[in-house]
Amino acid sequence: MSYVKTRMDGPVGIVTLARPERMNAIGGPLLDDLHDALQRANDDASCRVIVLTGEGRAFCAGDDLKEFGEQSASEASIRSHIERIQRITRDLMFNAKPVVGAVHGFAVGGGFEWMLNCDVVVASDDLVAFFPEMEWGQFVTGGVTHLLPQSAGHQRAMELWLLGERQSAQALLSMGLVNRVVPREALLDTAMALASRIAQRSPSSIARLKRLVTMDLTDTLARSLDLEFAATIEAFADPDAAERVKAFATRKERAQ
């Protein structure tokens, strides 16, 4: 069973997170399937633009808390999980193909980070995005400790992390974190229309543009990813963090 679906629509490769029963929550198999799908799209000469989206009620609900025990069972399992999460950031950002995010429902934690890793983002009007990591005693990944202050400013980025408040699509638009907000039913069509327009541009020029834009990021973003990696390992191993995650998961189950 694959947790990611792929298809081509002309020169546009559509990569869809397909674990709707868990709101596309991040687990090991989904991470591996997403990496494979992005690698195939990047290696496919007929694919000029990638659209990244999610199936069901959410784009991505972040880490699957039901797998926290397995993920945190040992230092090796912690390292493997974080490496696979950050590998997706590298797949999205350090490649020659532009990535258009078509984001709806919930984009939480890692899902929010992957949204920020896209080159262009179309959001549906039902989008809710937030960072729960500080409440859970965890830590952000995806290079956002560098990317988010650059996009939203230092104080706004700190507020988003420290308070973890839910942000609407319009609020994200006002911060410059998404490019367009459309009704939910128009989300994929709008993203595809943008992707198709981009695909009409010169692939070699786009590849140069993306390479030059990310060139300045390479060293700083790589360092941010390394620092986030170390901080997340510490967070996973923290007993207080484990209790916070368990308490949150219990409250969530009772509310359902």
Rounded CA-CA distance 201/81 in Å is 37
Q: Is the CB of residue 72 less than 8 Å from the CB of residue 237?
A: yes
**Residue of 73, 82, 74, 80 whose CA lies nearest to 133:** 82
Give the lowest-confidence range in 63-72, 102-111, 236-245.
236-245
153, pLDDT greater than 70: yes
207, pLDDT greater than 80: yes
253, pLDDT greater than 60: no
Domains, the chain, in order of start with CATH, read 4-185 (3.90.226.10)
pLDDT at 15: 98
Q: What is the arithmetic mean of pLDDT over 202-216?
A: 87
231: its two tokens: 């901080």
Count of Cβ atoms closer than 10 Å to residue 112 Cβ: 29
Residue 73's pLDDT band (boundaries 50, 70, 90)? confident
Largest alpha-carbon pair distance within the chain?
A: 53
Rounded CA-CA distance 19/111 in Å is 13
Give the residue with greater pLDDT, 65 vs 98.
98
254, pLDDT greater than 60: no
E-only strand ranges, the chain: 4-9, 12-17, 49-54, 99-103, 106-108, 120-124, 128-130, 167-168, 180-182
Give the residue with greater pLDDT, 219 vs 229.
229
Q: What is the arithmetic mean of pLDDT over 157-184?
A: 98
Residue 215's pLDDT band (boundaries 50, 70, 90)? confident
207: its two tokens: 């590849």
Q: Write out the H or E segment, with its range, that includes residue 114.
A: helix 110-117
Q: What is the tens place of the pLDDT at every residue in 111-127?
A: 999 999 999 999 999 99
**pLDDT-above-70 percentage for the chain:** 94
pLDDT at 37: 98
58, pLDDT greater than 80: yes
SS (H, E, C) 173-226: HHCCCCCEEECHHHHHHHHHHHHHHHHCCCHHHHHHHHHHHHHHHHHHHHHHHH
DSSP 129: E
DSSP 166: -
Q: Is the CB of residue 17 less than 8 Å from the CB of residue 105?
A: no
Q: What is the arithmetic mean of pLDDT over 86-91?
A: 95
| pTM for the predicted model, two decimal places | 0.93
Rounded CA-CA distance 144/205 in Å is 27
